[in-house]
Structure 1
Amino acid sequence: MKTSHLAMIQAIFIVSVCGQDDIVSQYIKLYKTLEEKLYGKIRPVLNQSKSVTVEVDVHLLGIQELDEKEQILQSRIALNCRWKYETLKWNVSQYGGIRKLNFSPKIAWIPDIIISNSVDSMFVLTDNNGDMNRIKIMSNGDAEWDSGGNIRTTCRIDITKYPFDSQTCNIVIGKLEYDSEVYMSTSSENVFTTALEGNGEWKLKSALIKEKTVHHNVTEIIVMLTLSRYWFFYVVNIMLPVALLSIMMVLSFKIPPVSGERLGYNMALLLSFVVLLNLIGESMPRVSKQVSYLQLYVSYQLSTSVVITMLSILLVKFQFTKSEINIPVVIKLYSFFCRCKRQKSEISNNVNDNSRIDKPSVENEEKIQSEYNDQMLATDAAQMIEKLFTWIFLAMFILSTILFLVVVAT
């Protein structure tokens, strides 16, 4: 019984080994037959006057960096190329059911694909991955080849709406030679992004593909990537501190000048503004051809803060002046109007209540009033101007902020 089992196992082993040897021999036979038909690097069409149609699918694998100053996009892509290899076809039944073979790109024909707008030396995808990715050829002549890599391409940057900006960068996929021997096309209008790795600064809004005819029957593929910036970080670290400092600067008019703290408060805020601007300048894109609305907004708030500081200095001077000569005409007119109004009120009160008229006390009050007339003149006028300036600069801040948000949002 044991002998029969051993004989059966040996027979199965011999059949399996013979079967594997037969498959290997069929592969060797098929390879030798097809290598004779490769004809080196001749295009894989029986009629050499016809173009080879190559379908290209683009897979976006990652967005490494978008350099605004140098205007360079660093990305990683993979290309899936398919074409018909008319010179490499075989009958599956004659070669043990073999349906697919792999050939090295060094001995078989592949399209010479380049990145036309690469900032480096001519980026030829064939040279980079020609020895790594082999060509898959089916029995009916369908060929498939994968290529790709890390690329650096030009990208025109518009930072006017920074940090709420969106940038559209193109990756131009063309041929090494502009001829009609190869016709490039794409089977999809969208870039495949299933394997895309996220980026901390940019979000991919859309990735489209379009074919562009350069010359007669000469095409290239343009990959259009639309990227939007993550703006929350910049709002928290740039816009919010600027807005808070601006509001605090406006509120400086509420500090009484007699406390002696107003000018020190203004200078401290102004110095904080300058330090903040240095930090903001390092984070902003350094593009000399364009100025972002955020830069204009921050510069406007800084200028307003300087004006508020200058006005605070003048108002403190006016309130502590002892000579009416140094008081501006506008302030004199306002104070005169206030005195006339106050005197009319006092006269009406005296007329209504004659029993309470005390001529000596009236004379004393007029004497005291004349002694402190200059000082009260400046104090009353300065308080009025401080209230007016508070509302004016607060309105200017609110309107400028709303205008900035509306402009960058449209």
Structure 2
Amino acid sequence: MKTLMKTLMSNYNTNIRPVQDQTSAVNAYVDFMLLSMQDFDEVEEKLSIVAGMGITWNDANMVWDPSLFDNITKVFFSYKDVWVPDLVLSNPYDAISSFGEDWQRIAYTNDGTALWQTGNVMHTKCSVDVRFYPFDSQTCTISLYPWGYRYTEVMLHTVSDRIQTSQYSDGGSWELLSTSTKSFVNFVWSSVEFTLTFKRKPTYVIVNVILPIVFLGLLNVLVFVIPQESGERVSYAITVLLAVSVFLTIIGDNLPKTSETMAFMSYFLVFDLAFSALITLLTVLNLKLYHNQDNANNKVPIVLRSIAKLLKCCDSKVKPSDMDAVSKDDEKPKISKKILVQCPSVPDENSVVCSEESITWKHASEGVDKVSFLTFMFLKLVNIAWFFTATVSNTA
């Protein structure tokens, strides 16, 4: 063994490409094996994986006749003592560095075939598309090329059209969907590209973010059901508004700042925040209506009177004390000679006919509550349906 190694290294030069004809390229074949995903930071657009590679090429200076050396067909040399293609990432996240360590060994067979098994944690830059968050999938490409060599000097090839994943351990918040490989040549160098497609596991986001937001949005509409006299309306509306703002901040901190497209969830939260702000504003203004004083110089606007009349006649009783057209001299109330609009149905003898002139500020406030409840409930449901339709359709 010592004689063989001494013979092979006697005239070996690590600075000379291992081919007899220096005008020919060294063909290196890369077999990529994915072991695990260490981290995927969407905010920093950084992918960290643990991977191994088997790189083979033919070294014309490492050929011998086994019969002359005790039938030895395989030897190992230190990484720093022989020629190896210096491979680097073309899309690194931080500093550019080559693969390989001094403790690694290169295996040679007697026909000159070299096998370099290396591996490390790779940190690469990966553009993120979060439009369909949290039902999104991301595709990242890891590109390798030989540093310092043109494609006419070192040519890289892939062994198969897919990455080896037999040893891959799935876990965390991402699921591996597919892989692919490709050899690529440009005007300067050759490279190999390994493409990984991951799909996010959305359960955590659904349970801890989306469902609370949906419930908060629907609960916010219930502010119009709280009695005006309770005095809790404004505090209730402001509390929900602050809760939606907190969720908007949480989502913003977990999405990339440099994404070309915004997540549909961001629009969903902005709409929800706008609805909550409008509900809070409308709650304050409606309290002003409810506590307004009824007098000849402060009449209810005709629009509010029309809304209140329509809603009040259809589902409630009008008390005689609330109507300015009722005569108190008789045992039973009488309606004045003003133009009256009769209710569609009269539940009992205590119900009376209502008119726009009999609507008070309290009646107007109650009408605004009912219209606001129905309107915002409809808008909330439309917003929720739009979000799920726009995002879940990506998984089809």
Query: Which TM class, normalised by the smaller chain length?
Result: 0.7 to 0.9
Q: Give the direction of change, closer, same or farther, for the CA distance of 1:89–1:185 in structure 2 (3 Å limit).
A: same
Aligned with 1:147 (options 103, 118, 122): 118
Q: Is the Cα–Cα contact under 8 Å of residues 322 and 374 in structure 1 kept in the other structure?
A: no
Aligned with 1:214 (options 176, 186, 190): 186
Aligned with 2:372 (options 378, 381, 389): 389
Q: Give the direction of change, closer, same or farther, for the CA distance of 1:272–1:382 in structure 2 (3 Å limit).
A: same
| Residue 376 (structure 1) shift | 4.7
The one-letter code sitting in structure 2 at the alignment partner of 1:361 is E
**Equivalent residue for 2:229?**
258
**Equivalent residue for 2:9?**
35
Aligned with 1:361 (options 331, 338, 347): 331
Give a deviation string over 1:356-409, Cα, whole Å, max 9, x none.
Answer: xx9933467769x9xxx9885333343333223222211111111111112123
Q: Name the SS of the counterpart of 1:360 in structure 2.
A: coil
**Equivalent residue for 1:73?**
47
Matches within 5 A, 1:145-294: 145-179=116-150, 180-215=152-187, 218-287=189-258, 290-294=261-265
The alignment covers a number of residue pairs equal to: 363
| Residue 106 (structure 1) shift | 2.3
Q: Give the direction of change, closer, same or farther, for the CA distance of 1:34–1:268 in structure 2 (3 Å limit).
A: closer
The one-letter code sitting in structure 2 at the alignment partner of 1:322 is Q
More helix by share: 1
Q: Is the Cα–Cα contact under 8 Å of residues 57 and 188 in structure 1 kept in the other structure?
A: yes
The one-letter code sitting in structure 2 at the alignment partner of 1:92 is P
Q: Is the Cα–Cα contact under 8 Å of residues 308 and 368 in structure 2 kept in the other structure?
A: no
TM-score w.r.t. structure 2 length? 0.81
Give a deviation string over 1:286-326, Cα, whole Å, max 9, x none.
Answer: 44754321111112111101111222223333233332625
Q: Is the Cα–Cα contact under 8 Å of residues 133 and 265 in structure 2 kept in the other structure?
A: yes
2: distance between equivalents of 1:319 and 1:54?
82
Q: Name the SS of the counterpart of 2:278 in structure 1.
A: helix
- Looking at CA atoms only, which structure, 1 or 2, has the larger radius of gyration? 1
2: distance between equivalents of 1:64 and 1:338?
61
Alignment gaps of 5+ in structure 1: 1-26, 343-357
Q: Is 1:327 matched up with 2:300?
A: yes
Alignment gaps of 5+ in structure 2: 316-327, 338-351
2: distance between equivalents of 1:32 and 1:245?
77
1: distance between equivalents of 2:292 and 2:276?
25
Q: Give the direction of change, closer, same or farther, for the CA distance of 1:181–1:285 in structure 2 (3 Å limit).
A: closer
2: distance between equivalents of 1:198 and 1:94?
49
Q: Give the direction of change, closer, same or farther, for the CA distance of 1:103–1:212 in structure 2 (3 Å limit).
A: same
- The share of aligned pairs that are identical, in percent, is 29
Matches within 5 A, 1:299-314: 299-314=270-285
2: distance between equivalents of 1:274 and 1:52?
59
Q: Give the direction of change, closer, same or farther, for the CA distance of 1:185–1:225 in structure 2 (3 Å limit).
A: same
Q: Name the SS of the counterpart of 1:79 in structure 2.
A: strand
